[in-house]
Every structure is written in structure tokens, then in C-alpha cells.
Chains A and B, each alone.
Chain A
């Protein structure tokens, strides 16, 4: 049983560029979450998918952010026109709907915007 995987692990980009991250959840998990973690802080919820439907978005998710989960499998998170304030660790987690509600996290994608 493989865990949650995320790619790339690190991304350095220049301000104004677009970036896209990918998350592959645990195969039987139908719930998928994105969180953002800045230095010295706990993760903050960004968005949630149940199967292919994006059911909730945090106010942290500005118009420059978009997430998709086609076919209810992997998910992508795109940030357009990146800003230095977007520099953070982006974490993906998945869980099984009928489970006891714990979420399993991937290793994260560390974004640095220069």
C-alpha cells in the first residue's frame, strides 16, 4: 500500500510565473485535501474534494489558485501569477470516507518564489 505522493518535491519559480503541483492520493481514498504550511506555523486548510467534486474552498484560496481532481483520482493545484507570499509548503492529504476520519499526508511540495 503506497502512501500519498506529491510532485515535485521542490519548486523554485520567479514571481509572476504559473506553477502546478500534483497529488496522488492513496488509491482507495475518495477524499482529498490541500493544505498550505508556512514556516513556523501549522498547516492551513485550502480546499477539499470528494471524488471529483470540489466541495469546499477556504478564503485563503484566492482567484489565482485553482484545484482540480479529474476522475476522482489524482489532483492538481495551480497557482497563477505567483507572488512571494505564495512561498510555502503545499501539503496534500487523503482519507477514506468510511474511515475513522484520520487524514494521511504526502511529503509536500515546497514552493519558493523569488
Chain B
């Protein structure tokens, strides 16, 4: 069974500080995808980044960066120079291809990020 663990529940940072969110996953599949989603107070989940299990190259996209380490089953996410608009709940999610190739998502419990101005 797929499982995603986000240990930290609420993280508070002062504006312009960096914040790193930890994600550890469990899967028996060799092919899978990992995602980070943002859920602002409005409630709509917003797709941020995706990484497949074949590519461990870490990347930066604007103020977002991620560190995927297959050996430790971790997929950590960093927001650089945080802004008040970054205040939201961030979810790590894992998908597999499923029997029907449907890539259903298994989510962690989320990290509440509070950016203090």
C-alpha cells in the first residue's frame, strides 16, 4: 500500500526566511510519481511540482526547489525567501499507475505553513 508521511504539522517562519517541508513515502512499485500540492485558505488544491521515480535530479523552479532521494524514500520541498502569500497547507502526494493506469494519489496529512510578516 502507498503511504506518505509528513511529520511536521505546523511551521511558522518570518517573511523572507526559507522553509523546508519533509516528506517520506512508502511504495512497493518501481514506477511512481511524487507531487507537491498547495492548499490556500480558499481550499482549492494547486499543483506545484512533480517528480518521477526514474529521475533523481533535483531542480529549482523560481522560489521552489526539491530534493528527491530514492535511497531514503524522501521528497523534500523548499520555499526560498518566503512571502505571506505562501501561507497555506502543503501536501506531498504519491501516485502509482494502478491496475488501470489511473495514478490515484495518496496524500500525506499536510504541513500548515504560516509566514509572519
Interfacial residues, chain A to chain B (CB-CB below 8 A): 31, 33, 35, 40-45, 48, 50, 55-56, 89, 91, 93, 95, 100-108, 110
Q: Which residues of A contact B109 (CB under 8 A)?
A: 40-42
| Nearest chain A residue, comparing its CB with the CB of B112 | A40
| Nearest chain A residue, comparing its CB with the CB of B99 | A56
B interface, how many residues as a size bin? 20 to 34
Q: Which residues of B contact A35 (CB under 8 A)?
A: 105
Inter-chain contact A89/B50, CB cutoff 8 Å: no
Inter-chain contact A105/B106, CB cutoff 8 Å: no
| Nearest chain B residue, comparing its CB with the CB of A40 | B109
| Nearest chain A residue, comparing its CB with the CB of B9 | A40
A20 to B43, alpha carbons, bound, how many Å? 20
Q: Which residues of B contact A33 (CB under 8 A)?
A: 102, 104-105
Inter-chain contact A56/B95, CB cutoff 8 Å: no
| Nearest chain B residue, comparing its CB with the CB of A46 | B104
Mark contacts of B97-117 with chain A using CB atoms, 8 A cut-off: 1 yes-contact digit, 0 otherwise: 011101111111110000000
Q: Which residues of B contact A50 (CB under 8 A)?
A: 100, 102
Inter-chain contact A45/B105, CB cutoff 8 Å: yes
- Top 9 nearest A-B pairs by Cβ distance? A42-B107, A105-B45, A55-B100, A45-B104, A48-B102, A107-B44, A102-B47, A101-B103, A43-B107
Inter-chain contact A42/B47, CB cutoff 8 Å: no
| Nearest chain A residue, comparing its CB with the CB of B6 | A42
